[in-house]
Structure 1
């Protein structure tokens, strides 16, 4: 494994939701320090071309009424899943309220719609998880706005019928939590991490962080807690989880509130052996962070956005700090606009490109295609909004 690309200038977003369709990554919403999240404005959509690493921002509607529009309002803590060529956004909140309306984004027409649904619609929440298994979206956990408590429930939306159901599960479920991860593998939904509370469903500021991994067998409806061994990671929240090409669950970056620590570690879990392994890829590791997005495309992981503690390593310039007017310093966190790529199986060609880049070698005798690849790997994007944008 090798971290091969690090580019700045993408969307500066935290707690956003992203998904892969074809060779493009679609990123929805999120927040950036200094912007206004009380006023309901249309959700922004950013698209990454995974071939040339270029971001673009889709146009926002000119006239927007959140009460009648099928365009979701800007939010954070929501989920995005892909079913065919459509992307479904559910949950999340702004600074005023949470939402439980289902929105659909068509990647062919780039248009939004609000599908008609039936059944038992889950209560509005954020910090939940969602994944696709057998044509259904399984939603677990989160913090429910209306009843002011954490959840440990499972809800399922059947995309063929657009019918919501509450799942009556068997066995002991994962504890009440939010900002965990859910990873689909076959008929199983693997749940890891998240923030819980000593008082179960109630938020009393006495946080707990579980390091167990559990899965729901969606055929039997039974929760299972496998006995694991190896390099078991510390409990965490706001991490990223994805499925590696060799059917491993990969966990990247996180935050633990008990230690008030951010991490940039990488763990791999084998569902076959129930074994954790700490992996240390080569290359420049991304800074410690949380609430980023991380997706697998082929043999590569694309990680972008998130937030980190301020440090000498992630302050890119004194001008950027001045532009922020101290807002990020008050929170002691910096919102990122960067993109990192982890190559699970870098080819000899890719490794040679890295030698040219890292050693600043003369490129004049290289072919135009190779020079184009180097430009793509080294040219920053330029769509970021200023840090002091107030929305």
Structure 2
């Protein structure tokens, strides 16, 4: 049984890249969308400065709080050194041996094929010296890791537009290699997902170059034979989509969200794919999950939990599901955590928040966790004050103080609860980042 135990305000980002390092999530780059003057729903402008160093935000999954790392500049000059990645979007980030490798991406002025590296232990940027056949610059590609090798597939570049080539980088030798798939080919794809399970790369979804077709089938690439495998057709298929999220868990592939242009909307469904039976199953989760506007978000596995944040929607977000001060009705700054193995403690905390139960007699650490789960992660809040505060009783709670007495066949009023400093468990109007 999966559940959504955490919903906070996160980063207002689109087409960013992130990796999980221990109990932390590192987010790199991306951009914010601002509405065009003429028609803000049909055309969006990009807010990004390609001369700035890429921004790095770190989310602590224990304290449920974000921090932003100081920007990296050359000593004493204030200029961006060559070792530091510049601001970009639609790039990829992978973690290999304590180093995050950033590759590809775009600023809408230029595309990149330069490899940048970020040491998560020292927070130092550097540019590895690479050899071999470096791939053409591109964005909206995918990157996944098998051992110490990073695989790049697909994407969009200025030469061939939609691509279907595979390249790999061996980080032990820092050598690029073009992967010859021989007589097997996959359709040219962008905005897809690629996930390693065992020795194979599972590619799902994305947009193609034929009338912007969207795919809803799984293609499997065998990294040992360097061939695309012929796969059987599944009877039950999720809707085709692009800009979705994907992760592997217990040898199975999961996909969530994405944009479906055939339906003209973003989706928020979760599907599970079994590689052995080659079958799909729709997964239902407990708790309040994301509304149907999650696409272009980041997805990271932290133990048995999945952290999703940021994103954008191809349909306007309802007023009650976005920040009221924002003019943009399609951008998301929410953060959700999907617990794949929720404990009894997690389920109990969800019930406390959902039903507004009294917290004054709970242990201090439990009250702190409850406060962290239900407050804006961008607010600089005194957590000790929140933890010592009880929720203000809602109208439903006040009316529920009259309980049914089965012995007398009528309602009776329960004893009044002790009042504490007021703190309302409600959706906050976060400012984003």
TM-score scaled to structure 1, two decimals?
0.89
Deviation at 1:313, TM superposition (A): 4.8
Equivalent residue for 2:417? none
1:348 equivalent in alignment to 2:344: yes
Deviations 1:303-340 (A, max 9, x none): 1000123233555353x13xx3xxx3xxxx52211110
Question: In structure 2, what is the equivalent of residue 381 of structure 1?
Answer: 377
- For 1:84 and 1:20, the matched residues in 2 are separated by 12
Distance in 1 (CA, whole Å) between partners of 2:116 and 2:305 is: 28
- The Cα shift of 1:291 comes to 0.3
- Partners of 2:330 and 2:320 in 1: how far apart? 8
C-alpha separation in 2, matches of 1:123 and 1:215 = 23
Q: What is the CA–CA distance in structure 2 between the aligned matches of 1:122 and 1:241, rounded to whole Å? A: 24
Structure 1 Cα separation of the partners of residues 223 and 101 of structure 2? 21
Structure 1: which 4+ aligned runs deviate by more than 3 Å? Answer: 62-66, 313-318, 383-387
User: Aligned equivalents of 1:231 and 1:371: distance in 2?
Assistant: 44
Runs of 5+ unmatched residues, structure 1: 199-205
Q: Which residue of 1 aligns with 2:133?
A: 120
- In the alignment, structure 1 residue 12 sits paired with structure 2 residue 24: no
User: Which of 62, 75, 80 pairs up with 1:51?
Assistant: 62
Name stretches of at least 5 consecutive residues in structure 2 with no aligned partner.
35-45, 380-428
State the distance in 2 between where 1:314 and 1:84 align: 43
Partner of 1:266: 270
Measure, in 2, the Cα distance between the counterparts of 1:64 and 1:45.
17
Q: Helix, strand or coil: the match of 2:112? A: coil
Larger radius of gyration: 2
Distance in 1 between the 2:320 and 2:17 partners? 23
Distance in 2, matches of 1:228 and 1:87, equals 36
Superposed CA deviations along residues 109-167 of structure 1, whole A, max 9, x for unmatched, are: 0111000000000010000001111310000000013x151110000000100000100
In the TM superposition, what is the alpha-carbon distance from 1:196 to its structure 2 partner?
0.3
- The yes-or-no answer on 1:73 pairing with 2:69 is no
* Number of aligned residue pairs: 367
> 2:164 maps to which residue?
152
Higher relative contact order (CA 8 A, sep 6+): 1
- 1:371 partner SS: helix
**In structure 1, C-alpha distance between the alignment counterparts of 2:183 and 2:336, rounded to whole Å:** 39
**Residue pair 2:290, 2:336 contacting (<8 A) in 1 also:** yes
Q: 1:170 aligns with which of 173, 182, 202?
A: 182
Give the drift of 1:38: 4.9
2:318 is equivalent to residue 312 of structure 1: yes
**Matching residue of 1:203:** none
Most deviating of 271-280 and 254-263: 254-263
TM-score (norm 2): 0.81
Question: Aligned partners of 1:48 and 1:154: how far apart in 2?
Answer: 32
Which residue matches 2:258? Answer: 254
Determine helix, strand or coil for the equivalent of 1:183. strand
CA RMSD, Structure 1 to Structure 2 (Å): 1.9
User: What CA distance in whole angstroms lies between the structure 1 residues aligned with 2:334 and 2:145?
Assistant: 28
- Selected match of 1:61 from 41, 66, 72: 72
**Contact 2:323–2:430 (Cα < 8 Å) also in 1:** no
Q: Contact 1:301–1:341 at 8 Å: present in 2 too? A: yes
